Amino acid sequence: LGSGTPKMSRRAVLRDLRRLLLARDQLKVPLIIGSCGTSGVDSGVDWMREMTLEIAREEGLSFKLGRIYSEQKPESMALAFQSGNIEALPGAPEIDEQLIQNCSHIVAMMGHEPIVNL
């Protein structure tokens, strides 16, 4: 997850995403895709957007598309750690400021609220 690299190939994601978008259109229901590219990084959100728009053009689909970015800067997270706002989960290994600073990607967890407010 931390590498920001998609778990599946572009081809596999396009195949599955096309099926989902066509089913969404046929059933007239919303489609919510979380943890874009399986890692949730901002570039994964953009990657999924590009493929979604590509499929929409090819299939003549029209829909509202929202994006929610949740990647956090290590520097901001280190400051939050220093002020006591971040701590390891029970049973998880200890964390320190250096560990946070060394992260290449930090993705925040979120509930349903950002999606509901789109």
**pTM metric for this prediction:** 0.84
Low-confidence ranges of the chain (pLDDT < 70): 1-2, 37
Closest by CA to 46, choosing from 62, 65, 18, 63, is 65
- Give the pLDDT score at 2: 64
- Give the pLDDT score at 1: 59
**Beta strand residue intervals within the chain, DSSP E:** 71-72, 106-107
- Give the pLDDT score at 22: 99
pLDDT tens sequence across 47-70 = 999 999 999 999 999 999 999 999
Helix (H) or strand (E) run with residue 17 in it? helix 10-27
- Give the pLDDT score at 34: 83
- Angstrom distance (rounded) from CA 41 to CA 4: 6
Locate the domains of the chain by residue range: 10-59, 71-116
